[in-house]
Chains A and B, each alone.
Chain A
């Protein structure tokens, strides 16, 4: 009896009132494919006078379909060395009213590092009990963070509808804020009079997921917040303008580019005997691209701040900002100045109208001295303040000096100078810089077998992509790359020879030569032979697959880069055969691309040539029908066959 008396009562699991209230609400009808609905998403941010920020986030979902268990059956909260999760609770109210509660101790923790050797980014995960159709699940966590910069956001729109959203901001006396709405109609805040501001949204529709849609922050509704402290010194951490951001980052990186004797010596070794300034720059950029291995180790402010140049040099590794740092340091030694450029590898994330540290990559803008010939350097921008800037990405190992990886083109980058930051638009390189020329001689036998000898020359983007494929494959497995390519076009083939030219000479055109035989390439029917003149290579089929949903696409698409690609094929016809019918020439065009193909026959040889050119990369939604129609015409031409007839027995 005594034991019973002192045993504490175990409290039954109990959901909080806010969740119960949310669960009681009658919902409007949603489309049948809706897996769940966000009943409430409330973010309450309290800024302390010392710059510390406390955030309480409450979210509740009603689960409608079994698939919701995979997508909303758990919740994760990110944190790092500067962000502490003070509490983390989760609950379930089942359809029959049972309540389950999870506490912080029930969560598991894991690193969110993937390719990095180490970062301090982690997450806490809670898995809801009974996350079944009909259940309401919810969570609440409180975070305390000490941000390096005073900017924040509230992303309220999801892949499922939101019933009620609420953002509450509490600022200390004398502090100010700026709020900006994206991809959603701006809502006015209500001010309680105590420096507390409240914004509300309701019945926010779901964002439909489409293949190759723009990045999430370019399509879903979110609010960007900036806090302006009363104290002038603390204001330096506020991203009020691009200039401010640049100043902050310049201060953060000031001590990183200090040259050591070893670096000096290396620069001297690499540039010895070179007088041409571009060649000197290239000697250093080649070194950074190929000799300094990409390794990311970032902890705390290390997510923004590069390691010292000397450390990077002695280890011979570093991440993107480290590589930019060491290159900048080395360039300085040959009298070339350069600036960090902060950029996001997803086009559309950086919004010029909203200065923000939404970047995931760092490259370099090299200030080209007056009088230097830049005609072979395509990634150059003439800035009225900074002069001629050559953008270069030392992290991408395959895009040589003068070129830019496709994801950095037609994108915004923040150029960081001692005088502050300037957001510049990086150029879209013209089609002529990203070329593929495929010249082939084929011979067709009377039985339909085809033998081929193909020569490819590639420049710019196509060369970079191909180099990456070959250089990341074991030498013994490079033949498989040719085989996989041929397998995309031929049903039956044997690769009889293959070679590569200039594979590691990045500033020269890459050449590929391959030979093959394809048994039964042309199929026979009586006296006829059907042969597809476009023997190998594909243009645009992958893009055409973006249009395979029944409903029209809602979001824009983008081509990777402007490019010109030519095929020039000669097919020697079998003796005794004449042409009985040819596919018609094609001249297809849309605002973003052109396609021309034609076939001529002379002296027993079928001459097929085509040109595919992409001129612009961003296709808005209203232009998608014309792009689809264009791609259909290209696809039709690619599959078209010529008809040969046996003229002599």
Chain B
């Protein structure tokens, strides 16, 4: 396009914008800046921040499919300048445009640095019918003490604009935020409803005002604080979703009524999908024998379902690959058996069908995975239940199983489905459930080391590691596309990371990789330079080779969020250390045991004729801890590391040396 053409196009766009929106929306109608905001040096309610949101406004017009955004941020530090001054607004060009960007910087003395209007479209990804872009621009003359503010409009194509909502909680502390939504009240419009998530006390679902708007006002909302071992950010971020109900759905329901209706709907689908009695019976007769105890039967059926190729855990296919393979959808369990592949949902329903066919009581479970948002039934949001598994009763024992997860042995759920809230569906509706916790014994790392310290204080020998349950499953999943050499490298690097700096590890063998019911057994050799040190005729060395890595998550003395371990686990170490000839253990630390609540640690060392034997056992048997427990956890891991590093002293036997 030549220069003249380009100018014409810009004018056309401006005319279109002006024609569509009242002039007031385009005018520079900035809100006045109070002098006290200009003078502010820090956030009085949360001191020590780089920046804070003074004011934020999000106004949704559902009928016109627009969202008007306004943001005013006070900058306190140079880091705040860097973090806030470059703006990037991502959007899907096929469905929306970003319009009417206005911005300015208010210097600490109140003078204005106007934004020159230069914006750029950065391609996030473009091709195959998609065009995700980011509108980028940068603010002029921003210094600590400045206030920056900008506003823009998201204009959606009304064919796509269905998911409305407000992300209420911003990354920064917010002093005041106002949200509104103007519903589409045309005759054909469906009723608009809302569901809130983690709003502050006093804030409830937005209510319709006399002017027809739904509004919400938030004051003094802290930003999200990122910390190690915290819950997923999506679980902590306050939000409000708006949605439309179909005309065949009741406009208002209690949560009980809602979940009953949803449960029945899901149950009906499940029953329909597994309604292939002959096929299932034939399969069961091949997989189990009548004399099998109930759990054995279940195990066999679980193994059968887990053998089905799970399309969801495979890498995305290229268009060519998908076309070549001609994957067909499964309409029922018979299809799943016939095709030999399926989605996670298909596979678990096959298992559910097989269990029922074998005479067990079995039901479909939907849970909110712990890797995402918490589940609040009163939100009436079926989509929050993003994970699906199977409940089975055998004799009086209840099982929560997910054979589609493929890498997990019988009885072990993926961590995000453990202790997860959700519903069990049946013909009568939904029953609220909490999946069973997973004991620490379901995720163990057992390390056996047999090493010799030489006269140069270097240590070398053999190592064996067994990863079981959750620990094995995550490694099998992470390295599922690797071959033997790749797995050796990955596991060797992991083991090296447990050891002091400068250690080398060579993995010589890996066993049981393909047998999900068995631990992954790793064998190798290791060398640690200068692990022991000398002092006169003595040699000193710490008790355990392995670093208490958890302490790295607890360096800070302050904590804002609760502490979430992904899963309960255990680590068992068994070390045999051979010393150079003539050295005897002279001073060995006393055995230690600490077990405050659901965590425990013990270590002991026993002198041997030629060295030392050390055993250590760490148990984390609980996954969620309130932030008030943080100091105790920090202290626990500190004590563990202190005892891991307690020195054992070996004395050179003078008579031996003199020989």
User: Which of B333-341, B513-521, B534-542 sits within the interface?
Assistant: B534-542
- Does A639 belong to the interface (CB within 8 Å)? yes
Q: Flag if A32 contacts B485 (CB, 8 Å).
A: yes
- Does B248 belong to the interface (CB within 8 Å)? no
Known contacts A544-B502, A632-B529: does B645 contact A491 (CB below 8 Å)? yes
Q: Flag if B588 contacts A525 (CB, 8 Å).
A: yes
Number of interface residues, chain A, beta carbon within 8 A: 86
Known contacts A66-B483, A471-B79: does B639 contact A520 (CB below 8 Å)? yes
Q: Which residues of B contact A495 (CB under 8 A)?
A: 557
The one of A98, A127, A635 in contact with B529, judged by C-beta atoms closer than 8 angstroms, is: A635
A92, A314, A491, A550 pick with most chain B CB within 10 angstroms = A491
Q: Flag if B506 contacts A550 (CB, 8 Å).
A: yes
Shortest distance in angstroms between A620's beta carbon and chain B's nearest beta carbon? 21
Q: Flag if B502 contacts A547 (CB, 8 Å).
A: yes
Q: Which residues of A contact B123 (CB under 8 A)?
A: 109-111, 122
Q: Flag if B79 contacts A317 (CB, 8 Å).
A: no
- Does A100 belong to the interface (CB within 8 Å)? yes
Q: Which residues of A contact B302 (CB under 8 A)?
A: none
Shortest distance in angstroms between A166's beta carbon and chain B's nearest beta carbon? 28
0/1 string, B445-460, CB within 8 A of A gives 1? 0000000000001000
Q: Flag if B504 contacts A66 (CB, 8 Å).
A: no
A69 to B79, CA, bound (A): 40
A519 to B86, CA, bound (A): 45
- Does A140 belong to the interface (CB within 8 Å)? no
Interface of chain B residues 53 through 97 with chain A (CB within 8 A): 76-79, 81-82, 85-86
- Does A545 belong to the interface (CB within 8 Å)? yes
The one of A33, A70, A493, A545 in contact with B485, judged by C-beta atoms closer than 8 angstroms, is: A33
Q: Flag if A130 contacts B481 (CB, 8 Å).
A: no
Q: Flag if A480 contacts B555 (CB, 8 Å).
A: yes
Q: Which residues of A contact B647 (CB under 8 A)?
A: 523, 525, 530, 641
Q: Which residues of B contact A542 (CB under 8 A)?
A: 501
Q: Which residues of A contact B79 (CB under 8 A)?
A: 471-474
Interface of chain B residues 101 through 152 with chain A (CB within 8 A): 113, 116, 118, 120, 122-128, 130, 136-138, 140-143
Known contacts A291-B143, A581-B535, A640-B535: does B486 contact A479 (CB below 8 Å)? no
The one of A65, A118, A476 in contact with B483, judged by C-beta atoms closer than 8 angstroms, is: A65
Known contacts A293-B85, A316-B142: does B638 contact A483 (CB below 8 Å)? no
- Does A606 belong to the interface (CB within 8 Å)? no
Q: Flag if A584 contacts B534 (CB, 8 Å).
A: yes
Q: Flag if A581 contacts B530 (CB, 8 Å).
A: no
Q: Which residues of B contact A584 (CB under 8 A)?
A: 534-535
Shortest distance in angstroms between A520's beta carbon and chain B's nearest beta carbon? 5
B143, B506, B540 pick with most chain A CB within 10 angstroms = B540
Shortest distance in angstroms between A232's beta carbon and chain B's nearest beta carbon? 31
Known contacts A129-B321, A542-B501: does B49 contact A317 (CB below 8 Å)? no
Shortest distance in angstroms between B242's beta carbon and chain A's nearest beta carbon? 32
Known contacts A523-B647, A641-B535: does B320 contact A100 (CB below 8 Å)? yes
Q: Flag if B504 contacts A550 (CB, 8 Å).
A: yes
Shortest distance in angstroms between A314's beta carbon and chain B's nearest beta carbon? 7
A390 to B526, CA, bound (A): 50
Q: Flag if B649 contacts A530 (CB, 8 Å).
A: yes
A100 to B321, CA, bound (A): 9
Shortest distance in angstroms between B55's beta carbon and chain A's nearest beta carbon? 21
Q: Flag if A476 contacts B48 (CB, 8 Å).
A: yes
Shortest distance in angstroms between B465's beta carbon and chain A's nearest beta carbon? 18
Q: Which residues of B contact A98 (CB under 8 A)?
A: 324
Shortest distance in angstroms between A190's beta carbon and chain B's nearest beta carbon? 39
Q: Flag if B649 contacts A293 (CB, 8 Å).
A: no
- Does B199 belong to the interface (CB within 8 Å)? no
Q: Which residues of A contact B530 (CB under 8 A)?
A: 632-633, 635-636, 639
- Does B50 belong to the interface (CB within 8 Å)? yes
Q: Flag if A65 contacts B646 (CB, 8 Å).
A: no
Q: Which residues of B contact A473 (CB under 8 A)?
A: 79
A641 to B531, CA, bound (A): 12
Shortest distance in angstroms between A100's beta carbon and chain B's nearest beta carbon? 5
A632 to B529, CA, bound (A): 7
- Does A6 belong to the interface (CB within 8 Å)? no
A474 to B51, CA, bound (A): 9
Known contacts A483-B556, A640-B535: does B501 contact A545 (CB below 8 Å)? yes
Shortest distance in angstroms between B460's beta carbon and chain A's nearest beta carbon? 12
- Does B382 belong to the interface (CB within 8 Å)? no
- Does A549 belong to the interface (CB within 8 Å)? yes
Q: Flag if A471 contacts B78 (CB, 8 Å).
A: yes
Q: Which residues of B contact A186 (CB under 8 A)?
A: none
The one of B136, B481, B641 in contact with A66, judged by C-beta atoms closer than 8 angstroms, is: B481
Q: Which residues of A contact B116 (CB under 8 A)?
A: 315
A108 to B125, CA, bound (A): 7
A601 to B587, CA, bound (A): 23
Shortest distance in angstroms between A494's beta carbon and chain B's nearest beta carbon? 7
The one of B504, B535, B557 in contact with A483, judged by C-beta atoms closer than 8 angstroms, is: B557
Q: Flag if A317 contacts B140 (CB, 8 Å).
A: yes
- Does B642 belong to the interface (CB within 8 Å)? yes
A492 to B141, CA, bound (A): 45
Q: Flag if B324 contacts A100 (CB, 8 Å).
A: yes
- Does A475 belong to the interface (CB within 8 Å)? yes
Q: Flag if A480 contacts B481 (CB, 8 Å).
A: no
User: Which residue of chain A has the shortest Cβ distance to B116 in the bound complex?
Assistant: A315
The one of A106, A122, A632 in contact with B128, judged by C-beta atoms closer than 8 angstroms, is: A106
Q: Flag if A635 contacts B501 (CB, 8 Å).
A: yes
Q: Flag if A523 contacts B127 (CB, 8 Å).
A: no
Q: Flag if B138 contacts A492 (CB, 8 Å).
A: no
User: Which residue of chain A has the shortest Cβ distance to B50 in the bound complex?
Assistant: A474
Q: Flag if A315 contacts B501 (CB, 8 Å).
A: no
Shortest distance in angstroms between A600's beta carbon and chain B's nearest beta carbon? 15
Shortest distance in angstroms between A265's beta carbon and chain B's nearest beta carbon? 15
User: Which residue of chain A has the shortest Cβ distance to B530 in the bound complex?
Assistant: A636
- Does B551 belong to the interface (CB within 8 Å)? yes
Q: Which residues of B contact A568 (CB under 8 A)?
A: none
Interface of chain B residues 550 through 580 with chain A (CB within 8 A): 551-552, 555-558
0/1 string, A627-649, CB within 8 A of B gives 1? 00001110110011111000000
- Does B589 belong to the interface (CB within 8 Å)? yes
- Does B381 belong to the interface (CB within 8 Å)? no
A544 to B536, CA, bound (A): 26
Q: Flag if A479 contacts B649 (CB, 8 Å).
A: no
- Does B202 belong to the interface (CB within 8 Å)? no
Q: Which residues of B contact A66 (CB under 8 A)?
A: 481-483, 486
A112 to B78, CA, bound (A): 27
A631 to B502, CA, bound (A): 9
Q: Flag if B125 contacts A109 (CB, 8 Å).
A: yes
Q: Which residues of A contact B366 (CB under 8 A)?
A: none
Shortest distance in angstroms between A65's beta carbon and chain B's nearest beta carbon? 5
Interface of chain B residues 490 through 524 with chain A (CB within 8 A): 496, 501-506
Shortest distance in angstroms between A128's beta carbon and chain B's nearest beta carbon? 7
Q: Flag if B318 contacts A129 (CB, 8 Å).
A: yes
- Does A487 belong to the interface (CB within 8 Å)? yes
User: Which residue of chain A has the shortest Cβ distance to B499 in the bound complex?
Assistant: A548
0/1 string, A295-317, CB within 8 A of B gives 1? 10100000000000000001111
0/1 string, B630-654, CB within 8 A of A gives 1? 0000010011011011111100000
- Does A277 belong to the interface (CB within 8 Å)? no
Q: Flag if A290 contacts B78 (CB, 8 Å).
A: yes
B42, B136, B647 pick with most chain A CB within 10 angstroms = B647
User: Which residue of chain B has the shortest Cβ distance to A548 in the bound complex?
Assistant: B504
Q: Which residues of B contact A550 (CB under 8 A)?
A: 504, 506
A-B complex: 3 closest residue pairs judged by Cβ atoms? A476-B48, A108-B127, A525-B587
Question: Can you give 16 contacting A-B residue pairs, CB < 8 Å?
Answer: A65-B485, A109-B123, A127-B318, A295-B85, A472-B78, A477-B48, A479-B558, A491-B638, A493-B638, A520-B642, A525-B648, A582-B536, A631-B502, A640-B535, A640-B540, A643-B538
Known pairs A480-B558, A491-B641, A632-B529 / 14 extra A-B pairs, C-beta < 8 Å: A67-B483, A106-B128, A297-B118, A316-B141, A397-B78, A471-B78, A472-B82, A492-B638, A492-B639, A523-B645, A526-B587, A542-B501, A583-B534, A640-B540
